[in-house]
Every structure is written in C-alpha cells, then in structure tokens.
Chains A and B, each alone.
Chain A
C-alpha cells in the first residue's frame, strides 16, 4: 500500500495527511450515489411539491429515473459491502497478524485491538463532548482537543453505517417485491416503505446541513473544504479541529519547537 507522508510542506505551508486516495475514492462513490439517490428519490416522496416534477423529468421521468435510482442504490450497497471487507481486511492484516507474530493472539487481546482502532468510539470522545459544551457555553476558554477522529466525525461515519443497512435492503426488497413476497408477509412492505423513506429523509436533512456545515459551510472553510479532494488538511484547520493529533504528529516528526498554540 502506498505510504503517505504525515506532513507535506509546500510553499512554506504545512499540510497534514488525513485520507488515502483509496478512501477518497470510496467517499466520492458514496456521495455521488447519495446525491443521485436523493434527487431520484425525494421527488417521489414529495410528489406534490412544485420542484418534484422538474427534477424527476431531468432524470428521465418515471420510465428512467427508477432505473437510475436502483442502479445507484446497488452501487451504494456494493460500496457498503466493499468497505466492510476493507475494514475487516485492515483490521486483520495490521492487528491480528501482528498479534499472531508476537504470539499473543487471544480473544481478549483481539477485542482490545478492535476497540483501540481510531474509528471506534472511546472514552476520550465523551470527555471531548463535555469539553466542547464547556467551551461553547463560555464556561472555559479552552477548546476541546480532538484526536485524529473527533466524535463528530465518528458520528458522520456511523450515520451511513446505520443508514445504509436500513435503507439499502429495504429498497432492494421493495424493488424485488414480487420475489420477496414468497418469504415475507405483505405487511412487511409497508414497514420497509416507511423505513426506506424516513431514514432517507433523516440522512438528507443531516447531510445537507450538519455534515456540510462541518466540512464546507463553517467560517474557516466556506465555500469549499478541500480535504475530500486532496486528502491533506491545512495547519490552521488541523490546529482548529485535531489539536491533539497535531501536537503528536509535530512531535513525532521532530517539529516540537514549532508547535503553534491552539486558537479559538
């Protein structure tokens, strides 16, 4: 696997590594699917709104748009499976194999290793949350010092991990309703329908404002946060969002004397 330098210096500025090309590509597939699915799905949910018909017509109307919706839904489901395999593979190759090599592969150690992964919620997230409220409510002037993945980012990450398993299979079953009716009772389709549309609504409302606020709208980033393209974060953003990681990386790279203070 390609090795990315943790800090890149360009034109006298430091950039900090966040996402590999492989991860960025997965994200691009993810958001392309989500946006297309929203645009071909919500006109149906809100069919009586004035914007519904034009958008649906743009995607080819009732004879084409459902096919687009199903195609992108399938791609997204595949991505979900792929990503899960990718995660398991990473976990196995980096952690389990190492434990094996060291000869201390026990169930307890494996669980420990699992929980120590950067994406898994941990105690620090809880303390960060408290720190954040203390800071936001003007109780203290010390902003929370997030590590590599803040609790917000973990939330963003698990949102699709909860959403896709609800949305995707529901959509898939509704697509093949006739075939699935041999296994499922009819009322299941009512339930799946509600699951599909309501969870989609939650995802869309969340992504449009909360996620995009975190990565695009917030005053430092507006109009466009670029980390999803470049994979690297500027020093200012790094200090602002991941101070704990910033300090650690600077120390690891031998730049301890150049560590900047955390601004608010």
Chain B
C-alpha cells in the first residue's frame, strides 16, 4: 500500500496546495522556506549536555499529522531571522494562528496543560507551589512526539486509511479536497488510540524506569512490574485488547492528561475505584469486586508481599535443588562411564558371574 498511497497523498496535497494558492488563500505552511535547510537529514549537532540535537524535519510525515496547517513560526515564535539562533523550547500553550472552528477563537493547547497541571504529573501542588524535584515532572514533549493521523475506514469492516466511499459524502459539498480529508482524518483518528499500546508503555517507561527518578520520588518500579503481567505480554505480541498504562490510570471519560495519584479519592486506581476500573464494559465486566485485589505492580519484596516472597523462595529452592541434584548425578554417572572398571573395593558379587 505504502508507495502508491504515499504517491496519491503527495499528489493530493500538491493539488490542494495549487487550488488553495489559486483561490488566493495562503495555506503554505512554509512561507519562510525553513525546509530549505531543515529538510536535510544530517542537520544536527551535539549539545553542551552531550545530547544529539537533530534539526531535521520530515516534511511528508509532518503533513500526516494534525499540525500540517500550522506554520513553523506559529510554534517557533522566537525565530525572527535566518540563520537563526538556537530556538527556544516551544510553548504548546501559546495561541497559534489557527482559528478553532467551534469557538472562533485562536487555537491553543492551554486546556490540555490545565488538565496536566491538575494531575499527579503537574509541576505545582495544590497551593500553587513548585513541587520538589520539579525538573522530573513531564512537559508536553516528554510524552509526545508529533502526533500522526491514523484515519479509519468503517465501510465493510474496520480498516486503516481514508474510506473513499465515506469521504465522497463530504466532498460533494466541501469540494476543496484538503478540508474534507483533514476533517475526516481529524475525526476518525480520534475514534481509536492514536498510539499503539506498546508505544504508550514506552512513553511511561522513559521516566518511570529511571532508577534515580524512582528514588527521588519514592516510586515503585511500576513499568517493569507491569511488564510481567499478561496485560503487557499480550500487548507486546500485538494485541490491542489488553490495557496499557492509560487504560487503568485514567478514569473512563476523563482526559488522558488527567492522571491522578492513588491517594486522590477520584483516581482510577484509588482503592475504592479499582474494582470499577477493572470491571468496565470492555474488560472484566463479568468479574466480582474481588478482582480488585489482584496486584498488577507486584514485587517479591519481603515486606510488601511476604507471601509471594516466600513462595518465590520455595519455588527457587525447589528448582535449584531438583535441577542441581540431577545435574550432579548425571555428571557423576558420565564420569563413572569413563573409568568403568575402577573402584576402591571390589564387591564379591560384582555382576561377573
């Protein structure tokens, strides 16, 4: 599919571009021709902290995401000249020049930031003070690469991609192709997970597997313990039916950015709410409340889970005893075969009748 699909996409895009410019609309995202330099793969350097900074922009993939109508300078607002100084970090809450159709206001990700600030990942506590080790708390870019549209087609079963039959209904009126396509992609992409569960786990893993960070914030090794469950293993082998981190840590219907700590009474993983979370209609809907007693992030820690700890000790001991007893036996037996006639004493009844 890839090649021809891509080709048609490019052609569609170019046509749309042509149409737009003919109509006098300035829809070109790159008026300043930033891509003249930034299209080069190797545009990079090692920064003062030893990190690779890559300045390359993949135009084709940029066009596949929700930002495709946003000009570079809308986000990188501090760039005033070319060649430019190192650009500042992009603030996702700034208002860009897109008008949000439902409210006729300039669009911004402020509401997302608000959700994040309320959540356990927010940088400020309830009194508005900065939390301890504030540098560890995530900003947008710590979890998000540029999103990509993943449009869906529902004609004759669910499949990936734009349904030409579906979009033809839009295009009857919205003839300038780009609007119909982008609207279609905008809506249908959000009808499913925009990132695969495996990626989602990777996102949390970036911070939560950092041992130093765990120590600083007194956190358990949640990702690695989760990875020991069937939930993750199924995901790892390509299932999208078992839950990733978000499915259990976000209350159904809430913004995914609003993850609360276990102690909050409204948190999805608060002791009182775990059963509800497990028993949502997509998951363990036939289970009793007892299922909430299942510990996902379980360890063999002696103090926290003594029973499991001693059970692990028992099985490890059993395994080691059985295996090494028989291995020693086999080795002895093989060694005995090397010198079959030697022995310290001769039995009178040695088998030689």
Contacts and interface: CB of A to CB of B under 8 A. Distances in A.
| Chains A and B touch each other in the complex, with CB atoms below 8 Å apart | yes
Interface of A: 43-44, 47-48, 53, 56, 61-63, 65, 135-143, 174, 177-179, 181-182, 184-191, 194-195, 198-199, 201-202, 205-206, 209-210, 213, 218-219, 243, 259, 261-264
B340 A264 contact: yes
A177 B291 contact: yes
Nearest to A63: B239
- What 10 A-B pairs have minimum CB-CB distances, sorted nearest first? A186-B293, A262-B351, A141-B343, A142-B347, A186-B294, A198-B315, A178-B287, A178-B286, A62-B237, A181-B291
B43 interface: no
25 contacts: A44-B237, A47-B237, A48-B236, A63-B239, A136-B333, A136-B335, A139-B344, A140-B344, A140-B347, A141-B351, A143-B351, A178-B291, A182-B287, A186-B292, A186-B294, A187-B295, A189-B294, A190-B294, A190-B305, A205-B323, A206-B323, A210-B326, A210-B327, A263-B340, A263-B351
A44 B227 CA distance: 11
A201 to B, nearest CB: 7
A191 B332 contact: no
Interface string B290-313: 111111001000000101100110
Interface of A is mostly: helix
B330 A210 contact: yes
Nearest to A66: B234
Given A178-B287, A187-B295, A213-B330, A261 B353 contact: yes
A96 to B, nearest CB: 34
B343 to A, nearest CB: 4
B154 interface: no
B88 interface: no
Nearest to A176: B286
A50 to B, nearest CB: 13
B206 interface: no
A177 B287 contact: yes
Given A186-B291, A186-B294, A62 B351 contact: no
Contacts of B345: 139-141
Given A56-B237, A206-B323, A213-B330, A142 B349 contact: yes
